[in-house]
Chains A and B, each alone.
Chain A
Amino acid sequence: MTDHHEAIAHLLLKQAIEEFLYHEVELLDERRYEEWLELLADDVRYWMPMRRNVRFGELEREFTREGLDINWFDEGKDTLTRRVQQILTGVHWAEEPLSRICHMISNIQLLHVRPPVPEPVEVAVKCRFLIYRNRVQTETDILVGKREDVLRQVNGQWKVTQRKVILDQNVLLAKNLTFFF
């Protein structure tokens, strides 16, 4: 592949990945939770560490550890499915009435592409998110941070196999996390 062709292929891949990510949050914002679950691989890992204030030089202790410590989330498709089912009961009071929510995704970067273009099977993506959540009358949360995702081709479609949510907060400033990142 010439450099030029490779650049074009990479651009097209990035476009496809961005469209996937925008489509994903479109489903969440539109409360199409069951369709959203279908975009997750069956073996998906979804976790959100907590963050500590630590001394300069000890930053390896800043985040709680996946699989070892208490995190805000640290789960697979089964628990995520139950979260969706809970909302759909219509009696999950923390999410009833339903929140109004808007996910904004930006700063999308492809960190690795395997194998290289033109036909990758797995892509690591980093982005930033700003989630605006408003519920009942005036209750508003704005959560901002980064996401590190791994997407994999499954039967010709991209699916999320890993999601690490890096929220830029220490004490959580929201009363609950009834929504998805």
Chain B
Amino acid sequence: MSGIINLRLLEPGTTISLSDGSTAEVVSNPLDGVWVFARYLSSPNDSSVVGTEEMIFAQNIVEILNTP
């Protein structure tokens, strides 16, 4: 577990796991501490989102998996 994360520190290329079990890679960071733009790498619930980009909310991020 990463504990509470300061999203400002997530660089593009960082992989993260989300509260719905998905994983994603950070594409860009608006540096607001609330959102990151990320691309889905995997999703247990909906495989059609894989490869798409979405804004991910801080409280939906569970863990940092890998830093670039």
Residues on A close to B: CB < 8 A? Answer: 55-57
Contacts of B8 in A (CB 8 A): 56-57
Main secondary structure of the interface of A (DSSP, over half): loop
Contacts of A56 in B (CB 8 A): 8
B28 to chain A: closest CB distance in Å? Answer: 15
Give CA–CA (A57, B11) in the complex, Å: 14
Q: Which residue of A lies closest to B33 (CB)?
A: A56
Contacts of A57 in B (CB 8 A): 8, 31
Q: Which residue of B lies closest to A58 (CB)?
A: B31
Give CA–CA (A55, B8) in the complex, Å: 12
Report 4 cross-chain contacts, Cβ distance below 8 Å, ordered by A residue. A55-B31, A56-B8, A57-B8, A57-B31
Contacts of A55 in B (CB 8 A): 31
Contacts of B31 in A (CB 8 A): 55, 57
Q: Which residue of B lies closest to A57 (CB)?
A: B31
Within 8 A of A (CB), among B14-49: 31
A60 to chain B: closest CB distance in Å? Answer: 15
Give CA–CA (A56, B32) in the complex, Å: 10
Give CA–CA (A57, B31) in the complex, Å: 9
Task: Kindly list the 4 A-B residue pairs having the minimum CB-CB distance in the complex, ordered from nearest.
Answer: A57-B31, A55-B31, A57-B8, A56-B8
A166 to chain B: closest CB distance in Å? Answer: 26
A59 to chain B: closest CB distance in Å? Answer: 13
Give CA–CA (A57, B7) in the complex, Å: 14
B16 to chain A: closest CB distance in Å? Answer: 21
Give CA–CA (A57, B29) in the complex, Å: 13
A108 to chain B: closest CB distance in Å? Answer: 37
Q: Which residue of B lies closest to A55 (CB)?
A: B31
Give CA–CA (A55, B31) in the complex, Å: 9
Give CA–CA (A57, B8) in the complex, Å: 10
Give CA–CA (A57, B30) in the complex, Å: 12
A171 to chain B: closest CB distance in Å? Answer: 24
A89 to chain B: closest CB distance in Å? Answer: 52
Q: Mark B1-15, 1 if CB is under 8 A from A, else 0.
A: 000000010000000
Give CA–CA (A56, B8) in the complex, Å: 10
A146 to chain B: closest CB distance in Å? Answer: 28
Give CA–CA (A134, B49) in the complex, Å: 66
A61 to chain B: closest CB distance in Å? Answer: 14
A172 to chain B: closest CB distance in Å? Answer: 29
